[in-house]
Amino acid sequence: MKNKTSFPPREGVAQPSRCPDNSAFKQQRLPAWKPQLTIASVLSSFFLTGAFCLTVGVCLVLSANSVREVQIDYSDKCSDCTKLRENSSNWNKECHCSANFTLKEDILGDVFMYYGLQNFYQNHRRYMISRSDAQLLGRNVNMLQCDIFLFVMLTIRMTVFDSQMLLIVFPADTIELFYNRNSSVIQVPLLKTGNSWWTDKNVKFRNPESYNLSSAFAGTARPPYWQKPAYLLDEEDERNNGYVNDDFIIWMRVSAFATFRNLYRRLRRVRHFAQGLPAGNYTFRISYNFPVSKFKGRKHVILSTVVWSGGSNPFLGIAYLVSGTAAALAGFVITGIHLKLRKKKTYFQK
């Protein structure tokens, strides 16, 4: 292979210069701050960082511990409904159960109701690929892309590892709360709208454009374990149906862990519950929709208050405490090393 021949530059022709422009930026003459790392500045930064993290951590832990929370596991109390639901031929039958509990002290302020699931892998790959964002925006989608069922509406699938089968589940059980006051039973007023974010109903989720929502879902099959069609999820509020239903939207927020909780209802503070939930006997009445025993799951209902830092989750406070402690210990170690070296240096100078 022949080498390329390099020709000398032609005389009288100016060659372009490859030197950067003679500017302060390109010649690196801009003024710059170069910190002088003295022992005083290093130690002060470590101790100040440690003090700040420890202060914030203590505040967060105390705030999380001040949250009032009641958690009720109703998995065993609804065992009859679980057995009924395990038979696939009974998927369209309703089943109700109840769970009693007692509040020894008043829960004052805003009270939030959550439903919790344990050992439910919502972030599983086969679960995730059944989601269609185009469908959730109300667009016509070629449902031949679905690998299990041909529904015009979005189907939610859950992998059951023990039996290697797929189930289609309803976003959540239907839960009502009753207060046993003296000899009367009072239904606790709960808000089922306003629990989702503004971006959910205005950006991520939209119903198909149609003069009637039922006509938009005409000819579609109702998935197993769904007690109502998508356009009748909320018979009291027609604006809370279809893909913009609050319960459906909150369910579609995929959890990163197998144990999680989702917001279900908020207490409506009126009449007997203007100050919160008074102490006394309560009953959860549950319309059981899908079983969890196949994958060894558990179901919970949680009543909780919130504070300025959020709910009952001390993780962030503990993280600040650990970081502050590590910074403070590093500062003490550096101080000890500095004093030891300074003492040795003074000895040799003498």
Q: Can you read off the two tokens belonging to residue 284? A: 């959860």
d(CA 245, CA 210): 17
Dmax (CA) for the chain in angstroms is 111
Residue that the structure tokens 């005409």 belong to = 218
> pLDDT tens for residues 45-99?
999 999 999 999 999 999 999 999 999 999 999 988 888 887 877 777 888 999 9
Task: Report pTM.
Answer: 0.75
Interval 229-266: pLDDT, tens: 888 888 888 888 888 989 989 988 888 888 999 999 99
275, 304, 254: which is closest to 124 by C-alpha? Answer: 254
- Helix-strand-coil percent breakdown of the chain, rounded to 5? 35, 20, 45
pLDDT at res. 10 = 61
Average pLDDT over residues 296-312: 90
User: Phi, psi at residue 166, to the nearest 5°?
Assistant: -115, 140
pLDDT digits (tens, 9 = 90+) for 121-156: 888 887 777 777 888 888 765 444 444 333 333 333
Q: Are 105 and 138 in contact (CB under 8 A)?
A: no
**Total residues belonging to the chain:** 350
- The DSSP output letter for 204 is I
Question: What are the residue ranges spanned by the domains of the chain?
Answer: 51-67+309-321, 69-305
Calpha distance 272→276 (Å, rounded)? 8
